[in-house]
């Protein structure tokens, strides 16, 4: 919306009149305009220089008024906290965090220079905990284990040729049948291209076991944890995924399976095509969870693959389980676990302290002790 852009431009340039500042504030408080403000702040990544002269005396009254408005709109428990991170890493130099809660918006602008010792979050961490990345372990048919990281090289398993290329294993077509396993640790993810052209994205703390060639009338793999599949279509040779005593049957489709032991359920979400689970068929946009079929939030299901945490009506324990797996940290709770629901997205490439900075605006407090997060009410 051009009017919103104009108001923001004038406010940042300190040319806005009192009336225009009131218009901007009213627009921020209007939930129907939320997307327009998010879009504008997202575009600020191209204007980093314009934020270098951040003036706390100018910004703080505006921020405090928004926070006061936020407090006046709190609803009954469980409160819903809406979060939105600008979808780039530019805030490391001139940071902007947008947190929307009810009718309120909390905007933090922070000027960062190389000689500063403080982090954006303000959460004390002696050694900053970085996000996960492309790392996994490949177990070959003879039991050898190969650590997979970034970079490119050619691997061999007997007569089977495997290309490792910047976070992805690519199997060349062969008639040699052997079984390999790829597993990711906490803080790891990796991609896999099977010999039939099927592609698999493996999330943290997950594994997949698969053949180097698909003989016979079917293609079958088994997995643990979470994986996203883009199955190469072959109507004469269906593809099967075995997970937690459940078999997912497909011909050619895109779907996500979440089967972490600590989630206490198996959820298959279909994005494209058709899958069959225990005689039940899913349509695109549906999910199967422990035998129940429902409409799915497909964007949330595959957010991890696309580089985001998506917390759409997600409780604090579920949020912290995702953080634990991705940042390779343990989570402990002191006192009663707050009854909160979260809405929004956070980029997975952020440092842990930046993620916790967003979460602590919801009346939750954190301490980082080495590789442990202590959650306090």
Q: For 234-268, how does the pLDDT look when each residue is reduced to its tens digit (9 = 90+)?
A: 989 999 999 998 999 998 899 999 999 999 899 99
Specify which residues 258 forms β-bridges with: 226, 267
Based on the domain organization, do 142 and 260 belong to the same domain? yes
Please answer whether residues 375 and 333 qualify as being in contact, where contact means their C-beta atoms are separated by less than 8 angstroms: yes
Lowest mean pLDDT among 70-74, 113-117, 310-314, 370-374: 113-117
Instruction: Tell me if 314 is assigned to some domain.
Output: no
Compute CA 123 distance to the chain's CA centroid, rounded to the nearest angstrom: 21
Residues 173 and 38 in one domain: no
**In-domain check, residue 252:** yes
- Domain assignment present for residue 194? The answer is yes
Q: Could you tell me if residue 128 is inside a domain? A: no
Of the three residues 111, 144, 168, the one that is the final residue of a domain is 111
376 is a domain residue = no
Cα–Cα distances (Å) from 362 to 14, 74, 343, 365, 377, in that order, read 30, 11, 11, 9, 10
Same domain for 286 and 151, yes or no, is: yes
Kindly state whether residues 140 and 249 are assigned to the same domain: yes
User: Given its phi and psi angles, is residue 55 left (phi above 0), alpha (psi -120 to 50 degrees) or beta?
Assistant: beta
pLDDT (tens digit, 9 = 90+) per residue, 120-156?
334 444 468 999 999 999 999 999 999 998 888 899 8
Quick one: pLDDT at residue 125? Answer: 45
Which of 320, 352, 314, 351 minimizes the C-alpha distance to 334?
320
Q: Are 246 and 103 part of one and the same domain? A: no
Task: Find the domain containing 28 and state its range.
Answer: 2-111
Tokens at 116, concatenated: 């500063």
Q: Using alpha carbons, list the distances in angstroms from residue 136 to 112, 188, 297, 313.
A: 34, 6, 28, 31
Q: Among residues 247, 277, 301, which one ends one of the domains?
A: 301
Residue 368 lies in a domain: no
- How many alpha carbons lie under 13 Å from residue 265 in its C-beta half-sphere? 10
Of 313, 303, 314, the residue nearest 349 (C-alpha): 303
CATH number at residue 207: 2.60.120.1440
Both 170 and 52 in a single domain?
Answer: no
What would you report as the CA-atom Rg of the chain, rounded to the nearest whole angstrom? 24
Q: Could you tell me if 59 and 189 lie in one domain? A: no
68 & 6 share domain: yes
One domain for residues 190 and 102: no
Residues 93 and 240 in one domain: no
Do 102 and 141 have their domain in common?
Answer: no
> Domain ends where: 111, 146, 171?
111
End-to-end CA distance of the chain: 39
Question: Helix, strand, coil shares of the chain as percentages rounded to 5?
Answer: 25, 40, 35
* pLDDT at residue 159 in the model: 87
Number of domains in the chain: 2
Per-residue pLDDT, 262:
93
User: Are 82 and 190 part of one and the same domain?
Assistant: no
pLDDT in tens, 92-108: 322 333 333 222 233 33
Q: What pLDDT score was predicted for residue 211?
A: 97
Look at residue 217 and tell me if it is in a domain. Answer: yes
295 within domain boundaries: yes
């Amino acid at each position: 919306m051009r009017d919103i852009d104009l108001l923001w431009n004038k406010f940042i340039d300190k040319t806005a009149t009192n009336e225009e500042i009131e218009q901007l504030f009213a627009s921020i408080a209007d939930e129907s305009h939320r997307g327009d403000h998010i879009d504008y702040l997202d575009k600020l990544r191209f204007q980093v220089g314009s934020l270098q002269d951040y003036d706390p005396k100018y910004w703080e009254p505006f921020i405090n008024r928004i926070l006061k408005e936020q407090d006046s709109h709190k609803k009954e428990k469980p409160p819903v906290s809406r979060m939105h991170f600008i979808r780039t890493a530019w805030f490391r130099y001139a940071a902007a965090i947008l947190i929307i809660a009810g009718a309120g918006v909390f905007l933090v602008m922070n000027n960062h220079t190389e000689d500063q010792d403080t982090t954006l979050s303000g959460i004390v961490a002696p050694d900053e905990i970085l996000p996960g990345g492309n790392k996994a372990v490949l177990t070959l048919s003879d039991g050898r284990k190969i650590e997979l990281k970034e970079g490119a090289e050619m691997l061999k398993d007997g007569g089977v040729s495997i290309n490792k290329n910047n976070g992805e294993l690519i199997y060349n077509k062969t008639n040699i049948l052997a079984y390999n396993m790829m597993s990711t640790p906490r803080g790891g993810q990796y991609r896999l291209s099977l010999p039939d052209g099927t592609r698999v994205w493996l999330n943290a703390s997950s594994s997949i076991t698969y053949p180097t060639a698909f003989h016979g009338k079917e293609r079958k793999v088994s997995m643990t944890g979470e994986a996203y599949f883009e199955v190469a279509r072959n109507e004469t040779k269906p593809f099967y995924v075995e997970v937690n005593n459940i078999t997912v049957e497909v011909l050619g489709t895109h779907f996500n399976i979440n089967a972490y032991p600590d989630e206490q359920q198996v959820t298959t979400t279909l994005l494209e095509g058709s899958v069959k689970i225990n005689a039940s068929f899913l349509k695109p946009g549906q999910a199967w969870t422990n035998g129940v079929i429902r409409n799915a939030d497909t964007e949330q299901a595959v957010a991890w693959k696309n580089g985001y945490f998506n917390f759409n009506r997600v409780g604090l324990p579920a949020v912290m389980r995702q953080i634990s797996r991705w940042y390779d940290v343990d989570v402990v709770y002191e006192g009663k676990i707050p009854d909160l629901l979260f809405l929004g997205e956070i980029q997975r490439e952020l440092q842990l302290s930046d993620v916790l900075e967003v979460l602590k605006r919801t009346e939750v407090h954190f301490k980082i002790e080495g590789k442990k997060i202590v959650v306090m009410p």
